[in-house]
Amino acid sequence: MNYNAEHLALGCIQFFIIVLLAPFFAGFIHKLKQRARGQKGINILQFYINFNKLLKKEVVLSKDATLISSLAPYIVFVSYLLILLMLPAFYRYSLLGVSSDVILIAYSLALATFFMTLYAMDQGSAFGGLGASREWFLTVLSEPSLIFIFISLAIYTKQGRITDIFYFIQNGAENAFLSGAHSSSVSIAIPFLLFISLFIVSISENARIPIDNPETHLELTMFHEANILEASGKHLGIYEYGSYLKLTIFLTIMSLILFPYMAVNIYQVPLALTTYFIKMIILCGLIAGVEIVNPKMRVFRAPNVLSVSFILSLIAMILSIRGF
């Protein structure tokens, strides 16, 4: 694969569009939920305004904090940016497409979680430790599913890079569609299972109802929020933006499994971008729907749900090894 100026330019555009859209998707979910409850709802651009406001505020660190506390927000944020550099959301040649190994993606996510929980404990507040242990309790349970999802995709397509994986699926689907006949090279079961499995993992990883409640003010029930309870000012802004990026990463991967359509040249970009946006809106609606009709479950019920996700990804993996 030769990189040329077009790849570079479109890759950059893709990266910036996703990064800039991330708070919009989070805000959109929030707005949908509020409208469904009969509330007027926030400004859909509210999360941009919040970020801007927080950036101007000073950072207050606990007197027990070490260097980790000053670095962790940036490491977390950069990890997510790194993943977004790899994701082919609507353009096949993402900037870091060459090194977009699925294992790298999975563990960049883990790296971010690791530093976020270090930050939580470094501040020396009681909630930090509580939040960190809860965060790992969920991450440890959802990580196997995530790895299995990626590996079954890799086995299914015999590709290692996420750009190639989805391009392969896209091609297979296109060929099957163009030839008009039932093609044995396309599986419906595997993406379907993986989608559901990834959806459950997304809910857990992004602190959504029924696992966690992103809107709560109750310190004692928090998972994700308890980690950043001590964060203030710029750090808090970066963490919150980071959480929007994480949500966007998961939604984007889901959108690619749901319906992979990536532009390969500049002429396809408008259509691919529109498709991407529509897919993301649908997925936001799905997340909001789940959040509206469910209460938060008991903390120790979470493993049951995550085990469903694991089993689904396991089945998908067996199917892909057997060549469905």
The residues binding another protein (CB under 8 A) are: 33, 36-39, 126-127, 129-130, 133, 209-210, 213, 215-221, 229, 292-301
Residue pair 143/137 in contact (Cβ under 8 Å)? The answer is: no
Task: Output 187 or 216, the one with its CB closest to another protein.
Answer: 216
How many whole angstroms separate alpha carbon 177 and alpha carbon 140? 39
* Min CB(243)–another protein separation in Å: 17
Q: State the minimum distance, in angstroms, from the CB of residue 292 to another protein.
A: 5
- Shortest Cβ distance from residue 219 to another protein (Å)? 5
Cβ distance to another protein smaller for residue 180 or 295:
295
Tell me whether residue 92 or residue 134 sits nearer to another protein (CB atom): 134
What is the SS3 string spanning the chain?
Answer: CCCCHHHHHHHHHHHHHHHHHHHHHHHHHHHHHHHHCCCCCCCCCHHHHHHHHHHCCCCCCCCCCCHHHHHHHHHHHHHHHHHHHHCCCCECCCCCHHHCEHHHHHHHHHHHHHHHHHHHHHCCCHHHHHHHHHHHHHHHHHHHHHHHHHHHHHHHHCCCEHHHHHHHHHHHHHHHHHHCCCCCCCCCHHHHHHHHHHHHHHHHHCCCCCCCCCCCCCHHHCCHHHHCCCCCHHHHHHHHHHHHHHHHHHHHHHHHHHCCCCECCHHHHHHHHHHHHHHHHHHHHHHHHHHHHCCCCCHHHHHHHHHHHHHHHHHHHHHHHCCC
Q: Please, what is the minimum distance in Å from the beta carbon of residue 101 to another protein?
A: 36
Residue number, 169 or 229, with CB nearest to another protein: 229
Minimum CB separation of residue 264 from another protein in Å reads 43
Contact 190, 156 (CB under 8 A): yes
How far apart are CB 217 and another protein at their closest, in Å? 4
Q: How far is the CB of 38 from another protein (least distance, A)?
A: 6
Q: How far is the CB of 203 from another protein (least distance, A)?
A: 13
Which CB atom, from 133 or from 232, has the smaller least distance to another protein? 133
Smallest separation (angstroms) from another protein to the CB of 185: 41
Q: Which is nearer to another protein, 34 or 46 (CB)?
A: 34
- Closest CB to another protein among 226 and 319? 226
Choose between 21 and 222: whose C-beta lies nearer to another protein: 222
Burial class (CB in 10 A: 0-12, 13-18, 19+), 46: middle
**With respect to another protein, which residue has the nearer C-beta, 5 or 220?**
220
The pair of structure tokens assigned to 287 is 């997340």
Question: Quick count: other Cβ atoms within 10 Å of Cβ 5?
Answer: 7
